[in-house]
Amino acid sequence: MKKRKKKSNFQIEASSFRDPSGYLFYEKGTLYRQVNKVYKSDYLLLKSSGLYDQLTREKLLVRHDEVNCRGSLETNAFKVIKPELIDFISYPYEWSFSELKDAALTTLRINQIALEHGMSLKDSSVYNIQFLRGKPIMIDTFSFEKYQENKPWVAYRQFCQHFLAPLALMAFTDIRLKNLLRVYIDGIPLDLAAKLLPKITYINLGIFTHIKLHARFQQKYAGNTQTSKTIGKNMNRAGMLGLIDNLMSIIENMTWKYASDDSEWGDYYNKTNYTNKAFDHKKNVISSWIKKIQPKNVWDLGANDGTFSRIASNMNISTVAFDIDQIAVEKNYLKTKKNKEQMILPLVIDLANPSPAIGWAHQERKSLIDRGPVDVVFALAFIHHLCISNNVPFANLVTFFASITKHLVIEFIPKSDSQLQKLLATRVDIYSQYSLDNFIEAFSKHFSLIQKIKISESDRVLLLFTKK
């Protein structure tokens, strides 16, 4: 799809091909969206009804400007718009429970407001929601169509597959089932979700109706195209509002109950080998390096609760706080919400198996590496997990870091450290190469060592590298 209209300085966004209403493209590195003539009336209604104004005012839809550029010369083009940019594109299989829940509620709220303006959502893809300045926001300006009285909500099936099914599976079965979204790009099939949900959900009327019964209806009416004739009914506006209100109530009442002991990190910072002085020293060193580099963006790999990510985000730097621990990321997100933090985005990711490129031609959803590089990566008390727990050699680590960052703030933990000894307790020590000297030598292949500082009252070492 990338080559569909490729010309010099003009490239269509690979994921933008499903909706005939228009497409995203880059011109001289700037992102634009072409509004096709077929979407003209709905686009004009979006603007004239006041829906665009209300949604952008409430920060529920990205703003855009109408512009003139190459795309506007196309015969099927009605207009070209330049949308507000998202700092980091994230995907639902990287979100915590509450991030997905808030994204679902945002989608339903947008549809409520759209109905008040005589429009409705024509699709409810979870990929239409992104996080901007700490809040979920709709990025697809073409998701609205004129509301047609007596017609059912065309995006209901998609909403249940993209939002309700994964949330229900996370809340009632196992939080890790969110990863099914990585396998099923059009949401979790409802018959699969129905099978995986525990029997207790038979007495949960909302889940029973919108997932289990829904799955049964999908099977029963497969191939039948005469919807309303089949049962001789129409769906009025009250019915539509009732459906949305019902879905909102179900999702608002969903909670993910976890025991803090289930967290890999839980009480990590209280249990680790840092004295208060060591902890403050580590923070001060990182802070001084960030001030010196002045990056536009930071990825904190192995961020835990975001303690060190906030050194960057509090300096108004766009920061993504990755961690493998669902509970740590959930807590971090709830903290960002509570404190109304705008520059930090907590995400769940397993760096030993990061998000791959998925979808049509491997281009619809990007891999983690494809979404980089960034100015700075933090890898604090982290790489020993990759080296010891996953047997990743230093040479492979350095290649990975060189592909995602310009500057690297990294902490080396020696073998004598009790945290590392814990990792070695249950395995044979085959890591004879694991030493600070070998580490620096391996990283020197792609990076220049700028500074090396031993943390006070600790054997741990902080290093600042810059890519050669």
Partner 1 sequence: MQVAIVFLLLMVISTRQAEAYIDPGTGSNVLQLILGGSLGTLFIMKRYWHSIIKLLTGKKSKDRNSEEKKKEE
3-state SS class at 461: strand
Pick the piece of the chain touching partner 1 (CB under 8 A) from 218-226, 381-389, 413-421, 456-464. 218-226
Write the CA distances from 356 to 87, 179, 382, integer angstroms.
Answer: 19, 12, 21
Rounded to whole angstroms, the Cα distance separating 341 from 24 reads 29
Compare residues 8 and 219 and give the one whose CB is closer to partner 1: 219
Taking CA atoms, 14 is separated from 31, 356, 463, in Å, by 12, 15, 38
Q: Are 300 and 312 in contact (CB under 8 A)?
A: yes
Distance CA 335, CA 67 (A): 38
Pick the closest to residue 407 from 316, 329, 306, 317 (CA basis).
Answer: 317
CA angle 254, 256, 259 (to 5 degrees): 150
Residue 236, interface with partner 1 (CB under 8 A)? yes
Q: How far is the CB of 189 from partner 1 (least distance, A)?
A: 7
Q: Which range touches partner 1 (CB under 8 A), out of 118-126, 186-194, 346-354, 445-453?
A: 186-194
* Residue 241 within binding range of partner 1, rule CB under 8 A: yes
Taking Cα atoms as reference points, which of 122, 91, 98 lies closest to residue 354?
A: 91
Nearer to partner 1, 230 or 399 (CB): 230
In terms of CB distance, is 108 or 348 closer to partner 1?
A: 108
For partner 1, give the closer residue by CB, 67 or 113.
113
Spatial CB neighbours of 206, under 8 Å, sequence gap ≥ 6: 246, 247, 249, 250, 253
The site map against partner 1 for 48-87 (x = CB under 8 A) is ----------x-----------------------------
At residue 239, what are phi and psi to the nearest 5 degrees? -65, -40
- Min separation Cβ 270 and partner 1, Å: 36
- The enclosing H or E element of 241 equals helix 237-252
Residue range at the interface with partner 1 (CB under 8 A); choices 214-222, 266-274, 366-374, 388-396: 214-222
- Which of 444, 455, 437 is closest to 402 using CA atoms? 444
- Residue (221 or 360) nearer to partner 1, CB: 221
Three-state DSSP class for 81? strand
Q: Which stretch binds partner 1 (CB under 8 A): 225-233, 282-290, 356-364, 425-433?
A: 225-233
Judged by CB under 8 A, does residue 408 bind partner 1?
Answer: no
Q: Name which position in 73, 200, 203, 231 contacts partner 1 (CB under 8 A).
A: 231
Please state the closest distance from residue 108 (CB atom) to partner 1, in A. Answer: 10
Site for partner 1 in 253-292 (CB under 8 A): none
Q: Is 276 helix (H, G, I), strand (E, B) or coil?
A: helix
Give residues 146-175 in contact with partner 1 (rule: CB under 8 A): 152-154, 156-157, 160
| C-beta neighbour count of 196 within 10 angstroms | 18
Q: Is 234 in the site for partner 1 (CB under 8 A)?
A: yes
Number of residues that bind partner 1 (CB under 8 A): 48
Alpha-carbon span 38 to 40, nearest angstrom: 6
Nearer to partner 1, 218 or 314 (CB): 218
Determine if 390 is a binding residue for partner 1 (CB under 8 A): no
Residue numbers 187-206 binding partner 1 by CB under 8 A: 189-191, 194-195, 202
- Report the interface residues with partner 1, using CB under 8 A: 58, 109, 112, 152-154, 156-157, 160, 189-191, 194-195, 202, 208-209, 212-225, 227-228, 230-231, 233-236, 238-243, 245-246, 248
